[in-house]
């Protein structure tokens, strides 16, 4: 990791620590906590989702007088993303920060946030996710043994990277072997664009790129940076083909055993950190291109409209509308515009 990346992590952590005097944090010994819970993520500890989550957990401990102790487990320490999804469903892990693409293996409708080229910018994203469309998705999630906090966190717009072939046009994707998350919608998207998508769990991604099991992958810039994918990828095509968010899920059965006042504190503080994390990603997006270029990555500005037009010439949108249903589709189109 470069000095600049360490600097961002250290500054953010120190800023969070400064906000909570040590005497307050330690006002109740950890072993005296009434409720000890686990919060798992798949991201590197330096990623804003973990920095802001830890700040939220510190505030929760302080606001509850030490009654609630939630321990953060970043970087897939407790298992791969798909394993963690099973654990939060069972209650083995009480909270899990998960990409909507991974959640889609259990709640298919959640992948709708990652329809190809559905969102043109962040204004559209937050209008959708903090409005009726997001409410619709949260209600669908809550039909299971889990629930989602009211604010989705930002993973970002995803871009394609490569270790060999440069992706400049839709035609360059023909036969291109790239890793995608175990998410049917991204497999479908890249199959429609004539690429060769390979579903691989995130904790196996770096090795798959290093050993050339796949030629490339697609992720937001913050992930490309914190996971050090620039070490095994040469170019980044700014396709912005989908936006992806992180839902913070809770196990309903366990959460409902907590007193209502503690439930409210937990939800309030996690949602507060969601807004802070969104702002972090917005700032990072302004600087990460230069940072990654300094680490040897070449950036390619592409014509996104050409990729979307190619996709619109396939059955992609019609197929997914049939799977998602008209009501959810129309809620998304109210803010995203006509799809397909």
How far apart are the C-alpha atoms of 195 and 188, rounded to whole Å?
10
**8 and 42 housed in the same domain:** yes
Reported as a pLDDT band with limits 50, 70 and 90, residue 30 is: very low
What residues make up the domain containing 236? 159-242+294-336
What is the pLDDT, as a whole number, of residue 69? 98
Quick check: 13 pLDDT over 50?
Answer: no
**108 and 12 housed in the same domain:** yes
Quick check: 3 pLDDT over 50?
Answer: no
Quick check: 29 pLDDT over 60?
Answer: no
**181 and 282 housed in the same domain:** no
How far apart are the C-alpha atoms of 40 and 103, rounded to whole Å?
14
How far apart are the C-alpha atoms of 73 and 71, rounded to whole Å?
7
What is the pLDDT, as a whole number, of residue 31? 61
Count of structural domains within the chain: 2
**249 and 216 housed in the same domain:** no
Quick one: tokens of 239?
């396709």
Q: What's the mean pLDDT in 239-259? A: 98
Share of the chain above pLDDT 70, in %: 91
Quick check: 8 pLDDT over 70?
Answer: no
CATH classification of the domain holding 18: 3.40.190.170
Quick check: 118 pLDDT over 80?
Answer: yes
């Amino acid at each position: 990791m470069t000095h600049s990346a360490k600097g961002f992590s250290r500054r953010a952590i120190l800023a969070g620590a400064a906000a909570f005097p040590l005497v307050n944090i330690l006002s109740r010994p950890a072993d005296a906590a009434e409720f000890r819970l686990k919060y798992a993520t798949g991201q590197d500890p330096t990623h804003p989702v973990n920095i802001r989550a830890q700040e939220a957990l510190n505030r929760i401990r302080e606001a509850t007088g030490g009654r609630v102790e939630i321990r953060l487990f970043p970087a897939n320490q407790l298992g791969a993303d798909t394993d963690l999804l099973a654990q939060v469903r069972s209650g083995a892990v009480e909270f899990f920060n998960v990409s909507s693409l991974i959640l889609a293996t259990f709640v298919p409708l959640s992948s709708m946030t990652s329809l190809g080229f559905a969102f043109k910018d962040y204004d559209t994203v937050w209008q959708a996710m903090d409005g009726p469309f997001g409410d619709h998705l949260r209600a669908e999630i809550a039909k299971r043994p889990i629930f989602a906090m009211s604010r989705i966190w930002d993973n970002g717009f995803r871009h394609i990277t490569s270790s060999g072939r440069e992706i400049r046009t839709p035609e360059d994707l023909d036969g291109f072997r790239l890793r995608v998350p175990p998410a049917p919608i991204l497999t479908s998207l890249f199959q429609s664009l004539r690429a060769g998508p390979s579903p691989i769990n995130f904790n196996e991604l770096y090795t798959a790129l290093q050993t050339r099991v796949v030629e490339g992958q697609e992720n937001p810039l913050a992930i490309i940076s914190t996971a050090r994918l620039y070490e095994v990828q040469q170019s980044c095509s700014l396709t912005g083909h989908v936006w992806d968010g992180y839902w913070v899920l809770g196990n309903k059965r366990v959460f409902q055993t907590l007193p209502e006042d503690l439930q409210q504190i937990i939800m309030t503080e996690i949602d507060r950190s969601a807004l802070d994390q969104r702002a972090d990603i917005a700032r990072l997006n302004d600087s990460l291109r230069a940072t990654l270029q300094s680490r040897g990555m070449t950036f390619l500005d592409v014509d996104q409209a050409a990729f979307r037009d190619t996709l619109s010439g396939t059955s992609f949108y019609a197929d997914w509308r049939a799977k998602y249903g008209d009501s959810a589709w129309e809620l998304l189109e109210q803010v995203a515009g006509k799809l397909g």
